[in-house]
Amino acid sequence: MGLKSGNIALCIQKIKMLKKTGDQMDAMELAKQAKKQNIIDMAVGFTAMIRLFQGRSADLVKEKLADLFEGLDRISSDKDFSKMHRDFCQWFVTTIRLAKIEEPPSHGHAAKVLDLALKVYVYYCKMPSPAKAESLMPRLNGAIDTPILRHLFKKLEDIYGKSCSRHLWTVKMIDKETYDLLQKVIRQDIRDTFDDNISPVQYDDIMGRRLNC
């Protein structure tokens, strides 16, 4: 039995509506992806470190961060976060090369790039969603630049009675063991100085402005 003209018109209308909805979904997805990529661009630019590395480093880092950010929804424990952080830093030191001397960057370089990118993406921009960002924020590490590094080494002496040679007071000298120790010092300084009322990523913001003024 053939369709009546009224039914045909209704079917055509529904097809047009479905197509319009699909176009809108495609447009929203494009907008979502563009937003994410723009945030990644801002995050990498925010580190102000890319100039230290060879040619295509920025593109490689952005691609890696895009993959990493896709997996943030799966981070549900400190162990998950630590593995994600460690894997990125290992990739960074084996893939990226310093511009002038063509040697691998340090763990400190890798961690600073990632920690600042996560700060912009998660803390500043509330990605991948406000609820997930809220759960991730306490796990974010404090980014360590040279002024904060010097401050932390002084705190290390105060807290642990452990002094460090001045030649270690640069980001390029930070290995994983030193990085992990410095993150512990950050958390201790938060307890001592800020009554444990802020997170490491907020400590980074406060101390960064205070020490760089």
In this prediction, residues 2-13 reach a mean pLDDT of: 58
In this prediction, residues 45-51 reach a mean pLDDT of: 77
Please check the confidence at residue 188 and state whether its pLDDT lies above 80.
Answer: yes
For residue 156, name the pLDDT band (cuts at 50, 70, 90).
Answer: confident
CA distance 140 to 171: 18
Q: CB count, 10 Å around CB of 150?
A: 15
Please give the pLDDT value at position 14: 59
Residues 6+ apart with CB under 8 A from 153: 164, 168, 169
Q: Contact, 128 vs 141, CB < 8 A?
A: no
Please give the pLDDT value at position 159: 75
